C-alpha cells in the first residue's frame, strides 16, 4: 500500500473539499435519524469545528468516519440531555408550603415574648445564656470570659432556661 502524500486535513483546500463533499450528507444523516429539533445545521458546524481543532491527527481518508462519529455522538449527547430535561419538567414543583398565616402571627408573637423574657432576666443569666445559645460558646469558655467558675455558668444558664420556659408557657414548645 502506497503512503499518502497528505497526512492530515489542515490544508485549507483539503478542508474545504471535505466540507463541500460531506456537509450535506452529515446534515441529512442527523435530520433523518433525530429530526429537525436536534438542529442538524449546528451539529454539522460543531463537527467541522472539532475536525479543524484535531486536523493534525486526522488523515483525509479517515475524515468521513471521524465526522460521522462526532456528529452521531453530539446528537446522542443532545438526546440524553433532552431526556433529563423532560424528566425534570414532569417532576411537580411544590409551590405550597405548610406555613399558615396563623403560624406566622404566632411566630411573631413568640419572638416578641422571647425578647421581653430575655430583657427580664438578670444580666448575668442573660449574658451566660446568650453566649451559650446564640454564640455557641462552651461553659468553660464562658467561665473564662466572665471570670467565674464553670458551675456558676451552668447554674446561670439552667436558671435562665427555667425562667424563659415559665415566661413562654403560653406557647407550646
pLDDT in tens, the chain (173 residues): 444 556 777 888 888 898 999 889 988 888 888 778 778 888 899 999 998 898 888 888 888 898 889 988 988 888 898 888 888 888 777 767 778 888 888 889 888 988 988 889 999 999 999 999 888 999 999 999 889 999 999 999 999 999 988 888 877 65
pTM for the whole structure: 0.48
Say how far apart CA 67 and CA 23 lie, in whole Å. Answer: 9
Output the pLDDT for position 78.
87
Q: For residue 78, what is its C-alpha cell?
A: 443532545
11 closest CA partner among 3, 19, 1, 22: 19
Give the per-residue pLDDT at 138: 93
Pick the closest to residue 121 from 157, 89, 88 (CA basis): 157
pLDDT at res. 4: 52
Chain centroid offset of residue 111 CA: 33
pLDDT (0 to 100) of residue 1: 44
Using alpha carbons, select from 109, 96, 128 the residue that is nearest to residue 167: 109
* Backbone dihedral angles phi then psi of residue 24, each to the nearest 5 degrees: -65, -40
User: Mutual orientation of helices 123-133 and 139-146 as an angle, nearest 10°?
Assistant: 140
CB hemisphere CA count around 159 (13 angstroms)? 15
pLDDT (0 to 100) of residue 3: 43
For residue 169, count other CB atoms closer than 10 A to its CB: 9
Domain covering 101-167, topology: Arc Repressor Mutant, subunit A (1.10.10)
> Taking the domains of the chain in order of start, what are their residue ranges?
12-90, 101-167
CB 79 within 8 A of CB 38: yes
Nearest to 130 by CA among 141, 120, 118: 118
Amino acid at each position: 500500500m502506497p503512503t499518502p502524500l497528505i497526512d492530515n486535513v489542515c490544508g485549507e483546500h483539503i478542508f474545504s473539499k471535505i466540507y463541500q463533499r460531506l456537509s450535506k450528507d452529515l446534515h441529512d444523516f442527523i435530520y433523518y435519524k433525530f429530526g429537525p429539533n436536534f438542529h442538524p445545521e449546528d451539529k454539522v458546524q460543531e463537527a467541522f469545528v472539532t475536525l479543524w481543532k484535531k486536523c493534525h491527527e486526522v488523515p483525509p481518508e479517515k475524515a468521513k468516519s471521524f465526522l460521522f462519529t462526532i456528529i452521531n455522538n453530539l446528537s446522542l449527547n443532545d438526546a440524553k440531555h433532552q431526556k433529563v430535561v423532560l424528566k425534570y419538567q414532569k417532576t411537580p414543583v411544590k409551590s405550597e408550603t405548610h406555613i399558615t398565616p396563623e403560624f406566622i402571627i404566632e411566630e411573631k408573637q413568640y419572638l416578641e415574648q422571647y425578647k421581653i423574657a430575655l430583657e427580664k432576666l438578670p444580666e448575668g443569666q442573660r449574658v451566660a445564656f446568650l453566649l451559650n445559645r446564640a454564640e455557641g460558646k462552651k461553659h468553660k469558655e464562658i467561665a473564662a470570659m466572665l471570670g467565674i467558675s464553670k458551675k456558676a455558668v451552668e447554674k446561670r444558664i439552667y436558671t435562665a432556661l427555667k425562667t424563659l420556659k415559665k415566661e413562654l408557657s403560653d406557647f407550646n414548645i
